[in-house]
Amino acid sequence: MGLLVAALLQATSVCAEPAWLDYKLARPDGSHISYRLLSRQPATQPTTLLVAIQGSDCNSVAHNQAIQQHLINVLPAADVLVVEKYGLDATLPHSNSPERPDCPAPYLHHDNPIQRTRDLSAVIADLLRTQGYRKIVAVGGSEGATVAMLLAANSSHVDATIAFSGGGRWFRDDLTHSVMASDMPAAQKPRAAQGLTQLAQKIVHTPMPDLRMSNHGESWWKGMLGLDMLAVLQTVRTPVLLIQGGRDDDASPQAALALVAQLHQAGQRNVDYLPYPTLDHRLAAPDKTSRFAEVVKDMNVWLRRQGF
């Protein structure tokens, strides 16, 4: 009997483990937003929702290890929401290829930071209606940082925002920074940076419906290049934490620092800045050891200071 009871208790414990559940919500154009919800305490009324926002890759958020291993620990007791980009779902195999040939056409045509913000806002509004969350925190890295800040600016429901590895005011500055930080011979870098700047200007001002570059289409490139993150953050009144690694080769640490300085000079005191001088874009140290878990602990400390 004792063995039977022990087996039953073990089975109950396994069943009680929180699991991701998949949902869909209709868009006005007839397509569907796919999203996943992790309910930490399904037997009780949830109070806090953590919105974890992936970066710029052409991959399903269902396969995102940074979220599943690290970002869910930003608020360990909160429910966690992840929302797929337009045209993506868990059936798309994970790939690290910078130019994967199987990016779905709807994703390449529709995905951009504004679309992602609209989708997140729609899902959050629906969950507030059905679940009754009292506090919402948004956290994202790289492009996810941009989307998190846009969400804070465009939604009255977000109570705090954490954006890491997001760079500064203009995406074009991050593009130039990535060239100058690359392994390209030093003599070639200025010309390459100039060429990239000219291409960015062409993308902004010229219709390019067939553009396919770095797993993104015209809509994404025009959207990212057109954003002024200083203007975005100036409309946010809730607490914001910006985190930037000093060895980031993709997003400019100098531009991030300048953005924060501009906000503070304008008298905006809701934005905190936490630099990690030795960490790279993925929050790894010079020896390639991940410091992601340590940064997540600091995120949690900051949130506790904000009353979460």
Average pLDDT over residues 161-188: 96
**5 pLDDT above the threshold of 90:** no
Which range is least confidently modeled, 20-34, 39-53, 268-282? 39-53
Q: Is the pLDDT of residue 13 over 50?
A: no
Alpha-carbon dihedral 236, 238, 239, 245, rounded to 10 degrees = -30
Mean pLDDT of 243-251: 98
How much is the average pLDDT of 206-228?
Answer: 97
Q: How confident is the model at residue 17 (pLDDT cuts 50, 70, 90)?
A: low
Tokens read off for 73: 């620990």
pLDDT at residue 6, as a whole number: 38
Alpha-carbon span 190 to 265, nearest angstrom: 31
Which has the higher per-residue pLDDT, 206 or 16? 206
Domain 15-169+228-305 grouped into CATH 3.40.50.1820: yes
Of the ranges 19-23, 121-125, 193-197, the best mean pLDDT one: 121-125
Averaged over 287-291, what is the pLDDT?
97
Q: Would you call 33 helix, strand, or coil by DSSP?
A: strand
3-state SS, one letter per residue, for 84-111: CCCCCCCCCCCCCCCCCCCCCHHHHHHC
Helix (H, G, I), strand (E, B) or coil at 79: strand
pLDDT band for position 44 (cuts 50, 70, 90): confident
Q: Is the pLDDT of residue 22 over 50?
A: yes
- Overall average pLDDT of the 202-219 stretch: 96
Residue 269 or 18, more confident: 269
**DSSP secondary structure string, 98-150?**
TT-TT--HHHHHH--HHHHHHHHHHHHHHHHHHH--SEEEEEEETHHHHHHHH
> For residues 114 and 151, what is the distance between their CA atoms, to the nearest angstrom?
9
pLDDT one-digit tens code per residue, 102-156: 999 999 999 999 999 999 999 999 999 999 899 999 999 999 999 999 999 999 9
| Sheet containing 79-83, strands listed edge to edge, beginning at the edge strand earlier in sequence | 20-26, 32-38, 79-83, 48-53, 135-141, 160-164, 240-245, 271-276
Q: Average pLDDT, stretch 257-272?
A: 97
Q: Are strands 240-245 and 271-276 parallel, antiparallel or unpaired?
A: parallel
**Residue pair 147/53 in contact by the 8 Å Cβ criterion:** yes
pLDDT for residue 12: 39
97, 207 Cβ separation under 8 angstroms: no
* 3-class state of residue 69 by DSSP: helix
DSSP letters, 230-282, are HHHHTT--S-EEEEEETT-SSS-HHHHHHHHHHHHHTT--SEEEEEETT--TT
Average pLDDT rounded to a whole number, residues 38-62: 92
Question: Would you place residue 14 in the very low, low, confident or very high pLDDT band (cuts 50, 70, 90)?
Answer: very low
